[in-house]
Amino acid sequence: MGASFAAFGLVMLKAAGLVTAGVAGIALVLSYATAWPIGPLFVAINLPFFLVAQRSMGVTFTIKSLGAMVLLAALARFMPLWLHLGSVQPAFAAVFGGSLIGMGVLSLARHKASVGGIGIVSLLLQDRRGWNAGLTQMMFDVVIIGVALPIVGIVKVGYSILSAVALNGVMFAYHRPGRYFGY
């Protein structure tokens, strides 16, 4: 469910021409710049992060996260064939798409998994240094969205910032390590 929520949020942002946080944001920026599909870009960018995950977070976390990443990438690739989003108002896409991605990432984090990338680094820093995963992610996202400025323009970057705030707001408000024991 976490991967499907994140994929739907990503598809909604793509339909509105926005970017967002983390590796998903990098994949969207590269997709706009190259016209390559998001799914394969998402996987290619994520692969190095899984080496870090395997070494620092363990085999179980890495296997669950690889499964979630592959599912998200496949859904992001094929969901537009199953669900046609002709026009999505950017503010709606930013708030709801970002929140859906945040809920997807949150549900995976609560079960000791991730969709990869910056999320792995953020969870690692939270586990090892006590840094809040949402705030850590937000710092990376400022850079990612800043890079998108020449590609999507100032107005869409503004909405993209709103998307990242929604995504990270979900993580900041609801993710507490050790809070859930049902996995």
pLDDT tens-place string over residues 106-159? 898 888 888 878 877 877 788 888 888 778 877 888 889 999 999 999 999 999
pLDDT reported for residue 183: 42
| Average pLDDT of span 8-18 | 94
Q: Per the domain annotation, does 180 fall within a domain? A: no
Q: Per the domain annotation, does 82 fall within a domain? A: yes
Q: Is the dihedral of CA 52, 147, 142, 178 positive or negative?
A: negative
Phi, psi of 62 (to 5 degrees): -65, -45
Report the percent of the chain where pLDDT is more than 90. 49
Q: Which residue pairs, CB below 8 angstroms and at least 24 apart, start in 81-90?
A: 83/11, 85/11, 85/12, 85/15, 86/15, 87/15, 88/12, 88/15, 88/16, 89/16, 90/16, 90/17, 90/18, 90/155, 90/156, 90/159
Q: Per the domain annotation, does 111 fall within a domain? A: yes
User: Within 13 Å and on the Cβ side, how many CA atoms surround 172?
Assistant: 12
Q: Per the domain annotation, does 64 fall within a domain? A: yes
Q: Per the domain annotation, does 182 fall within a domain? A: no
Residue 182 clears pLDDT 50, i.e. is over it: no
Q: Per the domain annotation, does 29 fall within a domain? A: yes
Contact 147, 159 (CB under 8 A): no
Identify the domain containing residue 125 by its residue range. Answer: 2-174
Report how many domains make up the chain.
1
pLDDT reported for residue 73: 93
* Range among 1-5, 35-39, 130-134, 176-180 rated most confident: 1-5
pLDDT reported for residue 61: 86
Report which of 63, 116, 69, 94 is spatially closest to residue 160, judged by C-alpha positions.
94
Q: Per the domain annotation, does 47 fall within a domain? A: yes
pLDDT tens-place string over residues 51-80? 888 887 788 988 998 999 999 999 999 998
Q: Per the domain annotation, does 105 fall within a domain? A: yes
